[in-house]
Structure 1
């Protein structure tokens, strides 16, 4: 972030959505101010006034995937992300919930609940294995997602959230 920029601070809830094969759902998107810059990221978004992390995670997941009845687990990681998006600087405190679903595949996902500008900036949704996350040369957020996924698959949710 450039010095002097007004920084938008917000809290966000994100979801590490795992399917029955232990794959994690990621979206591929881009910054409208820099369309050539792309990355993969977990479902989720900012908390609305009065909303807690759990409620936001469920709302965002429903909006971005159309999946209902997802088994939402605890917060397994926290992060402070600093980034620019659409020409604005953000500082975002993020809580990552783990969740499980039996519904997978592109035909199952429905992002019609998302805002139109959000839908336009998503080019793909894909289920990733741990091995695929380790091998990819693509930018993935959070940056330590493979490490976190490995921990979750080996040991289950930690007692205290991991700091990314």
Structure 2
């Protein structure tokens, strides 16, 4: 999939910025968002197999600006100016995994006020779910590898604090995946 027009050099992309309450309040270059710890929003999609028994997990490429080489189970990215989180989720699912034309179900939303490499990182996270069995086409600049795990396999890995997993997704999934 080809990236959208706003997705050229990642540090020069203009993204939507938000206030701490989750209201869009302007724009800034992605590099500034990360260097100054500005609130922004991202949307991601949890992909389950059509029978619901497996979750698609991937490893982020080593060239990513944030959380390089970490594992994740949400295909997603930062919300562009004027774009809804659901539009972002559809765009990112197509860009990262080559999946389009699927229905998204909202899962949850959390705000994460954390840190990355000693810098503040603040993000409102919107999670969606879809059912899809593949095939997947990884965007090499985003995804290094991917595979299926059961919920139990993912939970076992998430229980290990030393396992490199995107920390904001870890927080987002804490309640969702541990619910019976």
Aligned mates of 1:33, 1:69 — CA distance in 2: 26
User: TM-score when scaled to structure 1?
Assistant: 0.68
C-alpha deviation, 1:93, in angstroms: 0.7
C-alpha deviation, 1:29, in angstroms: 2.1
Residue matched to 1:133: 154
Aligned mates of 2:131, 2:178 — CA distance in 1: 15
Relative contact order, higher structure (CA 8 A, sep 6+): 1
May I ask how many residue pairs the two structures share in their alignment?
136
Contact 2:155 2:177 (C-alpha < 8 Å) held by counterparts: no
Contact 1:130 1:146 (C-alpha < 8 Å) held by counterparts: no
Residue matched to 1:16: 46
Gapped regions of structure 2 (runs ≥ 5):
1-34
Aligned mates of 2:69, 2:47 — CA distance in 1: 21
Contact 1:27 1:124 (C-alpha < 8 Å) held by counterparts: yes
Aligned structure 1 segments of 4 or more residues deviating by more than 3 angstroms = 30-38
C-alpha deviation, 1:84, in angstroms: 2.2
SS in 1 for 2:100: coil
Deviations 1:11-39 (A, max 9, x none): 11111111124212222126659999742
- CA distance 1:90–1:71, change in 2 (3 Å): same
> Is 2:111 the partner of 1:111?
no
More strand by share: 1
Q: How large is the RMSD of aligned CA atoms in angstroms?
A: 3.0
